[in-house]
Amino acid sequence: MPEELESLTISEQFEAIIHLEDKWRIREFLNNQNISDVAELVSEFDDYASQIIGNMSTHRAASVFKILDLSVQKQVIQELPPLKSAELLNELPADDRTSFLEELPSEVVKELIKTLDPEERRITLALLGYPEGSVGRLMTPDYIAVNADWTMSEVIEHIREAGKHSETIDVIYVVNDKGEFVDDMRIREVILTSPDRRVSEVIDNRYIALRVTDDQESANQTFKMNNRVALPVLDDNNILLGIVTIDDVLWVANEEFSEDIQRIGGTEALDEPYLEMPLLKLFQKRIVWMVVLFLGEMLTATAMGYFEDEISRAVVLALFVPLIISSGGNSGSQASTLIIQAMAVGEISIADWWSVLRREIVSGMLLGSVLGLIGFIRVVTWSQFFPEVYGPHYLYVGITVGVSLVGVVLWGTLSGSMLPIILKRLGADPAVSSAPFVATLVDVTGLIIYFSVAYLFLQGILL
């Protein structure tokens, strides 16, 4: 590389080289960069994405391709020459290839599968044949399996021969003559054990494995609880079908997190990047919840209408309606978000409902008391400067506001914490008890609590 380019950043070097249109120099430059740096170049120079991938060696191109955003992957495959895209897809690990293909329309998938080598096509079709969202879609058949009767020297020799085609060599999987899974070993055990010892003498037959039909989210929990970098995947007959590695599970965890955040925000989960999703499809994702929440808020108007007489006789009560319902909605949203997040990471389960309820009763009382006290002080203090606002019975108004805030905040906290657990118990996704949904529920019930408390304290005074 010319000396004048060495002082430039990678982006500046690439920008200078790309305009030379020297394919050999471009290829040399890209193949000498870190995979992550090339991925950043693709992100920065998205117009050159296919050119960047196309000018790299096939193995390195596949390494970059699998960490790109889906929208960029689609662009690259569309723009690459058919031969180059076929080479790229064949080079991709089976699990990454399956992850990419399952996001494409079926017609496109059929055409791309035709470009695969026979063996890769067989593997890909087998993985795509498993249910969507199952561990089978995540696993790769590229692993190292050894027989329990082998010696450690035979194991090491096999690793040398087959290791370069394996997803990982950190863990070695032990099977019997029928292909049934027996146990797994860390590479450390293989290296530190005497070459003459047999595998059966080293393993302890205590293993953790996934089933091919397990849900991907449960696989995430298994990895987290057992601190593993890879786990075997078995069928119902205990046959070893493949392995799942931690990098694939991290992608699943990231997707699950994104979906939960979107649902908590009151929308259906987006299956495409926000800027890549067609506007009509984005509208369809959002309108359902918007209509549901709007219909729910209409009940608020119904509740206001029910207490119309009370409001007409004590107009001062209407001044605090936004304060009351927003406080209840805020406490409910807080509680639901905390509980959904805790359930997502496995901190609490359905069986912990009573512990959660007790904690939220105390939390709701404390939160409501603080807000109620602030509300009471606000009414009393304001009345000293503007006595005509709340009238001569401002103390009763202040007590009504304070007590109502305690009740509404407590109810919001209980609703927000229990609703996700109830939904989980019914088999639904707790994230659908989104913060807007809880807020809408508490808005309606909060009005009932508020006017009931007002009737209790202001009967015969203002009502």
Provide the greatest CA pair distance for the chain. Answer: 96
Last residue within a domain, chosen from 245, 264, 287: 245
Same domain, 182 and 291: no
DSSP secondary structure code for residue 278 in this structure: -
Q: Is residue 76 part of a domain?
A: yes
Helix, strand, coil shares of the chain as percentages rounded to 5? 70, 5, 25
Task: Note whether 152 and 222 are same-domain residues.
Answer: yes
pLDDT digits (tens, 9 = 90+) for 28-78: 888 888 998 888 988 888 888 888 898 888 889 999 998 888 888 888 998
Instruction: Supply the angle between the helices 94-101 and 246-264 in degrees, to the nearest 10.
Output: 30
Three-class SS state of 61? helix
Residues 157, 233: one domain?
yes
Q: Is residue 269 part of a domain?
A: no
**Structural contact between residues 145 and 177, judged by C-beta atoms closer than 8 angstroms:** no
Helices (H), 307-393: 308-313, 321-344, 353-385, 387-390
**Residue 463 within any structural domain of the chain:** no
In a shared domain, residues 305 and 377: yes
pLDDT value of residue 323: 85
In this structure, the answer to whether residues 337 and 451 fall within a common structural domain is yes
In the beta sheet, which residues pair with residue 460?
A: none
- Contact call for residues 461 and 396 (beta carbons, < 8 A): yes
**What's the rounded Cα separation, in Å, for the pair 133 and 269?**
14
Residues 6+ apart with CB under 8 A from 286: 267, 268
C-alpha span between 156 and 190 (Å, rounded): 7
Tell me if 28 is assigned to some domain.
yes
Tokens 């305009």 belong to residue: 19
What is d(CA 243, CA 127) in angstroms, rounded to the nearest whole number?
12
Sign of the CA dihedral with 442 first, then 448, 452, and 458 last: positive
Integer CA distances (angstroms), 327 to 262, 321, 370, 405, 416, in order: 23, 10, 12, 7, 13
**CATH code, domain with 87:** 1.25.60.10
Give the single-character DSSP code of 167.
S
Is residue 270 within 8 A of residue 277, CB to CB? The reply is yes
The answer on 150 and 117 residing in a single domain is no
Q: Are residues 331 and 392 in the same domain?
A: yes
pLDDT, residue 434, reads 62
Rounded to whole angstroms, how far apart are CA atoms 363 and 445?
A: 19
Numbers of helices and strands, H then E, in the chain: 23, 6
* Strand, coil or helix: 286: helix
Residues of the chain falling short of pLDDT 70: 1-7, 20-21, 257, 259-276, 293, 296-297, 307, 310-311, 313-314, 431-436, 462-463
State the Cα–Cα distance between residues 100 and 96, nearest whole angstrom: 6
49 Rama class: left (phi>0) / alpha (psi -120 to 50) / beta: alpha
Contact, 176 vs 182, CB < 8 A? Answer: yes
pLDDT of residue 263: 67
Residues 275-329: tens digit of each pLDDT: 667 778 777 777 777 777 677 667 777 777 776 776 676 677 788 888 888 888 8
Residues 6 or more apart whose Cβ sits within 8 Å of residue 162: 144
Query: How many alpha carbons lie under 13 Å from residue 128 in its C-beta half-sphere?
Result: 19
Residue 162 lies in domain: 145-245
Q: Which of 246, 126, 236 is nearest to 181 (CA)?
A: 236
Number of domains in the chain: 3
Identify whether the C-beta of residue 449 lies closer than 8 Å to the C-beta of residue 323. Answer: no
Determine the distance from the C-alpha atom of residue 335 to the mean position of all C-alpha atoms in its chain, rounded to a whole number.
19
- Residue 353, domain member (yes or no): yes
Question: Which helix (H) or strand (E) is 171 found in, with range?
Answer: strand 171-175
